[in-house]
Amino acid sequence: MLVVVLLLLCAPFAAALVSLRAPARIAQAVTAVTGVACFGLVLALVPAASHHDLAYLSYLRIDAVSVVFLLATSFLYGAVAVYSIGYLARSRDADPGFSRYCRRFYAGLNLFAWTMLAAPMMSNLALLWIAVEVTTVLSALLVAIEDTDGAAEAAWKYILIASAGLGLALLATIFAYYAGAQVLGTHYDLSFGPLLQAGGRLPHTPVRLAFVLAVLGFGTKMGLVPVHTWLPDAHSEAPTPVSALLSGSLLAVSFYAILRYYQVAVAALGPRFPRDVLLAFGVASLLLAALYLFDQRDVKRLLAYSSVEHMGILAIGVSFGVPIALAGVLLHVLAHAAAKGNAFMGAGVLVRKFGGKRISAIGGGLDLLPWSGPLFGIAVLALCAMPPFGIFRSEFEIVQGGFAASSNAAAAVLIVLVTVAFLGLSITVNRMLLVSRADGQAAALSRGEPSTWMVVPVVAGVVALLVLGVHPPAELTGLLTRAVHQLGAAA
């Protein structure tokens, strides 16, 4: 397993180095191969992590919870790497600036994926923070890679707000050190395992402070209201493959960081306080996102608000605390990664076809795009928790957990708001896919896909969603059970 883990750590970094030097086609091929290979490597980790925690080199610690997030990230990495072959194929030989753009894009993409894969494997809260900080700077550069005013503005807002939030998260790390040092001595190095084991003996006030600061700080990166304001801008202005990674994987990695602090907080403070905090943020995010979904004019911004909604659902799910809700949360991480990735990739095809992000410019998608149109529709329906896809299963489990934990009001609020979000999303997507554009410009566009490369990953994503929804494989269920046990064992 050590070999697998080391490969997982080194491969994307090597791919980034290759992309910096090699011509565009080779970089594309190397990235695609690396992405799919990483997904395979993580799959290889699943059986091992279902039985015991893996620890290597004193800085790596991989338990079942980590592998869930690794799965989400690596799947999207592979999908996006393949998708970008088609996405960047437009003006390949036309202008010389393209090859420089390509190099930067692929180097950035690989490095970004590398840090997102490294973060769940860190054994140490300080290294976790550093990894999340590096994902911030890399993704800000990727957001700014497009040469538009909107991208520059979005990148600036993103890095300012996210860095300020991560400053709060650094404060949380420092207070976690303080709490740990009280029990474990001043040479405590912020390792997560010993901190969790010392749970009940930790002093309450610093842990409480650290948890709230961590939720606020990492929640900035996760997209929790009210510190989510950078999210719609950054996710809509970035290139589509990057948007998919941002929404599907980066938000999940930030959630992973919050989960680690949640584990420590529950061990030290008992379940009541951490769950109340998460419930408050979760409901706020879900409510605001559901309302904002109604008045969007930009398709990628629409999907970004849908991400905020789903992050709210994750927070609410954790706040229920019972095992079935936690299982739903972890499954939701996986399913959301697949579904959001699909949705963004489909939206990218629509944008490419119709030449713009504005929803009013897109119409009649189903007719003009024989594959991507229906696939995009399916992806959005999956996002809205339509059976038989994975998100339906996960949200169902979360709601079940809510009722089992006697949080009936919260569960009811969740159901109502998810329905409102469904309404908001489906109205817009309906208009984009089924209703032809009024100005008859559709006649000028020919029927057909811009690129096959952009269809294949979406198909893979839909298949994954079906698998997750209908019948998750036994290894996955085993992994999830162990992860839930680890999360809930602290309760």
Rank residues 93 and 295 by Cβ distance to other proteins and give the closer one: 295
Q: What is the pairing mode between strands 54-56 and 60-62? A: antiparallel
Burial label for 14, CB within 10 Å (0-12, 13-18, 19+), is: middle
What distance in Å separates the CA atoms of residue 239 and residue 395, rounded to the nearest whole number?
Answer: 29
Judged by CB under 8 A, how many residues of this single chain contact other proteins? 45
**How far apart are the two ends of the chain, measured CA to CA in Å?**
30
Please select the residue that binds other proteins; options are 48, 126, 456, 491, rule is CB under 8 A. 126
Rank residues 93 and 149 by Cβ distance to other proteins and give the closer one: 149
Q: In one letter, which amino acid is 232?
A: P
Q: How far is the CB of 147 from other proteins (least distance, A)?
A: 9
Q: How far is the CB of 111 from other proteins (least distance, A)?
A: 12
Q: How far is the CB of 159 from other proteins (least distance, A)?
A: 6
Q: How far is the CB of 413 from other proteins (least distance, A)?
A: 24
Segment near other proteins (CB under 8 A); pick from 26-34, 142-150, 329-337, 362-370: 142-150
Q: How far is the CB of 480 from other proteins (least distance, A)?
A: 33
Cα distances (Å, whole numbers) of residue 42 to 11, 15, 67, 121, 124: 12, 17, 7, 12, 21
The four Cα atoms 12, 16, 19, 22 give a dihedral, to 10 degrees, of: -90
Written as one string, the DSSP assignment of 226-248 is: TS-TTHHHHHHHS-HHHHHHIII
Site string for other proteins, 152-171 (x = CB under 8 A): xxxxxx-xx--xx--x--xx
Residue 357: what are its φ and ψ, rounded to 5°?
Answer: -90, -15
Rank residues 92 and 297 by Cβ distance to other proteins and give the closer one: 297
Q: How far is the CB of 126 from other proteins (least distance, A)?
A: 5
Q: Which of positions 183-222 make contact with other proteins (CB under 8 A)?
A: 186-187, 189-190, 205-206, 209
- Residue 117's Cβ-side half-sphere holds a number of Cα atoms within 13 Å equal to 29
Segment near other proteins (CB under 8 A); pick from 37-45, 93-101, 133-141, 388-396: 133-141
Type and span of the H or E element at 322: none
Assign residue 57 a region: left if phi > 0, alpha if psi is -120 to 50, beta otherwise?
A: left
Site string for other proteins, 274-293 (x = CB under 8 A): ------------------x-
Please select the residue that binds other proteins; options are 6, 44, 89, 134, rule is CB under 8 A. 134
Is residue 405 part of the contact set for other proteins (CB under 8 A)? no
What distance in Å separates the CA atoms of residue 383 and residue 257, rounded to the nearest whole number?
Answer: 24
Segment near other proteins (CB under 8 A); pick from 232-240, 341-349, 404-412, 415-423: 232-240
Please select the residue that binds other proteins; options are 295, 438, 446, 474, rule is CB under 8 A. 295
Tokens of 267: 């061990």
Please select the residue that binds other proteins; options are 137, 404, 459, 490, rule is CB under 8 A. 137
Closest CA to 309 of 261, 345, 343: 343
Asked whether the bond before 96 is cis by omega within 30 degrees of 0, the reply is no
According to DSSP, residue 435 is labeled S
Rank residues 127 and 195 by Cβ distance to other proteins and give the closer one: 127
Please select the residue that binds other proteins; options are 175, 211, 255, 261, rule is CB under 8 A. 175
Segment near other proteins (CB under 8 A); pick from 131-139, 311-319, 349-357, 438-446: 131-139
Please select the residue that binds other proteins; options are 141, 386, 404, 459, rule is CB under 8 A. 141
Written as one string, the DSSP assignment of 59-124 is: TEEE-HHHHHHHHHHHHHHHHHHHHHHHHT-TTTTT-THHHHHHHHHHHHHHHHHHHHHHGGGBSB
Written as one string, the DSSP assignment of 248-315 is: IIIHHHHHHHHHHHHHHHHHHH-SHHHHHHHHHHHHHHHHHHHHHGGG--BHHHHHHHHHHHHHHHHH
Q: How far is the CB of 301 from other proteins (least distance, A)?
A: 8
Please select the residue that binds other proteins; options are 130, 184, 362, 381, rule is CB under 8 A. 130
Q: Which of positions 233-252 make contact with other proteins (CB under 8 A)?
A: 233, 236-237
Please select the residue that binds other proteins; options are 16, 30, 128, 133, rule is CB under 8 A. 133
Q: Do 266 and 491 contact (CB within 8 A), yes or no?
A: yes
Cα distances (Å, whole numbers) of residue 99 to 76, 106, 362, 453: 24, 10, 30, 19
Q: How far is the CB of 386 from other proteins (least distance, A)?
A: 27
What distance in Å separates the CA atoms of residue 436 and residue 441, rounded to the nearest whole number?
Answer: 9
Site string for other proteins, 350-369 (x = CB under 8 A): --------------------
What distance in Å separates the CA atoms of residue 40 and residue 35, rounded to the nearest whole number?
Answer: 9
Q: How far is the CB of 18 from other proteins (least distance, A)?
A: 22
Residue ranges that bind other proteins, judged by CB under 8 A: 126-127, 130, 133-134, 137, 140-141, 144, 149-150, 152-157, 159-160, 163-164, 167, 170-171, 174-175, 177-178, 181, 186-187, 189-190, 205-206, 209, 232-233, 236-237, 292, 295-297, 301
